[in-house]
Amino acid sequence: MLRSVLGCLVILLVSSSSPAAEVVNVYSARHYDTDDEIYSVFEKQTGIQVKLIEGNSDALLARLKREGKRSPADVFITVDAGRLFQAERQGVFQPVSTSLLMKRVPANLRHPKGLWFGLTKRARIILRSKTRVKDGEIISYEDLATPKWKGRILIRSSSNIYNQSLVGSMIQAHGVKGAETWCRGLVANMARKPQGGDRDQIKGVAAGEADVAVANSYYFARMLGGTPEEKAAAAKVAVVFPNQKDRGTHVNVSGVGVCTHAPNKSNAIKFVEFLTSPIAQKTFAAGNNEYPVVMGVETVPVLKSFGTFKEDNVNAAAFGGNNASAVRIMDRAGWR
């Protein structure tokens, strides 16, 4: 009887000491099948299970705020430096610094204090009509605000975070007054009130509603491989990488950070490091036709066809820091 009791105690002790499954809890505002592929590879390589919660950035940030210190989130992923700044301001991230991340992610594509790291980048490009705008006729963001382009420009609304970050970059380049002057000139040159998304601006140029559009590079790449209608529209415009003679083209990022109350911090850091590995970078970038942030990782063919370009190397964190000023400037300029 005693031996039986002791045997049961041994079994209980062994089972209670069995290690719990290793996990990393990921809150992500990116929604691509290729991201799931990356997570599966991470699980196979590390034995750490990825528990994923997806949603739009605002909803996930609201959830993190409600959960507070009890949040199970280890990692938060979102798109655009402006949204990364919103998370930073809310206290979502804790600083992380590893030699691997410092080596892989360029300084201008990560937070100066290690609160977040860029995963992919996209360029905010100009698309010109091939028939109505000659090659070299428009070469910079500043050109968009000159009288020559009155009634000839399409760009989406000021509520769009991509445009807010673009204005944030103009603040870095020209100061608040200079950026406001530019915004007023741009608004005066709009062919119509802003409506629709980036692809709608490109389609508008193709349809003759305007001669120039502003859009993210991945939207144009999608159109080149999209529906017959989108391909036909894309064939009528050409890519312009602005400001190649001075500071370079504005680039923005999707990014990731380790959460302040991460219950699995070491796993979270391993996960973030993995997302900057060559295999993850290549898959991440291909999923949305974006540029990898890590040097030496192959760019998808459609982006290669655009050609190489010089990018503005201002730290992407500045776009978020300038966001409040950018929004006020756009409002004063009448950008709706």
pLDDT score of 274 more than 80:
yes
Mean of all residue pLDDT scores within the chain: 93
| pLDDT above 60 (res 14) | no
Beta-strand relationship, 251-258 and 153-154:
unpaired
The pLDDT assigned to 215 comes to 98
**Mean pLDDT throughout 76-80?**
95
Write down the pLDDT at residue 80.
Answer: 93
Hey, what are 87's tokens?
């998370």
pLDDT band at 8 (very low <50, low <70, confident <90, very high): very low
Q: Average pLDDT, stretch 191-215?
A: 98
Q: What's the average model confidence in pLDDT over 284-308?
A: 94
Q: What is the pLDDT of residues 31-42, one digit of tens each?
A: 888 889 999 999
Flag whether pLDDT at 11 surpasses 90. Answer: no
Which residue type occupies 270?
A: K
233 pLDDT tier (thresholds 50, 70, 90) = very high
- Which residues lie across from 53 on neighbouring strands? 27
Region 149-176: mean pLDDT is 97
CA distances (Å), origin 221, targets 118, 134, 195: 20, 21, 20
Which pLDDT score is estimated for 34?
Answer: 85
Return d(Cα 293, Cα 236) in angstroms, integer. Answer: 30
Q: Read off the pLDDT of each residue in 286-313 and give the average, rounded to a whole number.
A: 95
What does R_g of the chain's alpha carbons equal in angstroms?
23
Residues 32 and 288: beta-carbon distance below 8 Å: yes
The answer, yes or no, to whether residue 85 has pLDDT greater than 80, is yes
The predicted model gives 79-93 an average pLDDT of: 95
Whether residue 5 is predicted with pLDDT greater than 70 in this model: the reply is no
Q: In this predicted structure, what is the pLDDT of residue 321?
A: 94
- State the pLDDT at residue 20: 59
In this prediction, residues 206-228 reach a mean pLDDT of 97
For residue 16, is pLDDT > 90? no
The pLDDT score that the predictor gives to residue 254 is 95
| All structural domains of the chain | 22-121+252-304 (3.40.190.10), 123-250+317-332 (3.40.190.10)
